[in-house]
Amino acid sequence: MKIYAVKTLDISEGNLEKICLLIHLEKRCKIQKFINKKDKVRTLIGEILIRTIIFEELSIRNKHLTFEKNQYGKPYFKGHPKFNFNISHSGDFVVCAIDDKSIGIDIEKVKHIEYKEIAKSFFSLSEFNYIVKEDLNIQLSKFYEIWTLKESYIKCSGQGLSIPLKSFSIDIDQYENIKVIIDKEHKEYVFKRFDIGSGYKMAVCSVNKEISNNIIMIDQNSLINKFRGLI
């Protein structure tokens, strides 16, 4: 397993368009439709990050790469069942995890939202209690911890939001062991939280026994240069 992160920087419109010409049409159209420039950059960087990683891991060049999606929208690399990946982006970060088994990753920029209302409506009762039992000043941080763990799980399973968010519960015990409970049973998924920067929460969920401790930080400009070299 490897976990990568890119801290995004602005890209000029001209450069953005040029790089977009090097990726698949469907993704290019998706990027063009975003109104917010940051959404464009995050999605483009996610795409060239995975394409560059695949070249490094499997020596497959960009032009030979096509991704498929499962019925819930999770992208995968057809014909390579031992190469699994998942991408997430929020704020100034794009993150990607690769593994030989199914994997899910989620990053969220912490925003001041009505976390109590959201947790009451969408989280299990024990998740809600895990948040509100804490001092007021750390409840928002705990909320995002649960949020990213839940999302890493639905992304690992590949079923996205077709899984009702209250149908499973993230349990963090007194020793900080994390597990997911579904129908009162503990399922064999492992989780890890990462500290990637203040103001962000990030989590990885895997069906392998161990999750890497390391985040490989990649500079955006070096990534773009490397990607251009693959063409």
**Cα(126)–Cα(129) distance, rounded to whole angstroms?**
5
Here the tokens at position 8 are 């995004």
**Cα(217)–Cα(187) distance, rounded to whole angstroms?**
31
Residue 99 engages ligand COA in binding (rule: CB under 6 A): no
Residue 106 engages Mg ion in binding (rule: CB under 5 A): yes
Here the tokens at position 161 are 């939001």
Question: Closest approach of Cβ 97 to Mg ion, in Å?
Answer: 13
Here the tokens at position 109 are 């920029």
Of the candidates 189, 163, 159, 165, the one whose C-alpha atom is nearest the C-alpha of residue 74 is 159
Question: Closest approach of Cβ 175 to ligand COA, in Å?
Answer: 24
**Cα(205)–Cα(151) distance, rounded to whole angstroms?**
9
| Residue showing the smallest CB distance to ligand COA in the complex | 160
Q: Give the nearer residue to ligand COA in terms of CB position, either 40 or 55.
A: 40
Stretch that binds ligand COA, among 4-12, 86-94, 172-180, 203-211 (CB under 6 A): 86-94
Residue 106 engages ligand COA in binding (rule: CB under 6 A): yes
Residue 34 engages ligand COA in binding (rule: CB under 6 A): no
Question: Closest approach of Cβ 55 to ligand COA, in Å?
Answer: 18
Q: Compute CA distances 93 → 140, 179, 194, 219, 223, whole Å.
A: 20, 26, 13, 11, 14
Residue 201 engages ligand COA in binding (rule: CB under 6 A): no
Binding interface with Mg ion (CB under 5 A): 88, 106
Binding interface with ligand COA (CB under 6 A): 43, 46, 72-75, 86-90, 106, 147, 150-151, 154-155, 158, 160-161, 165
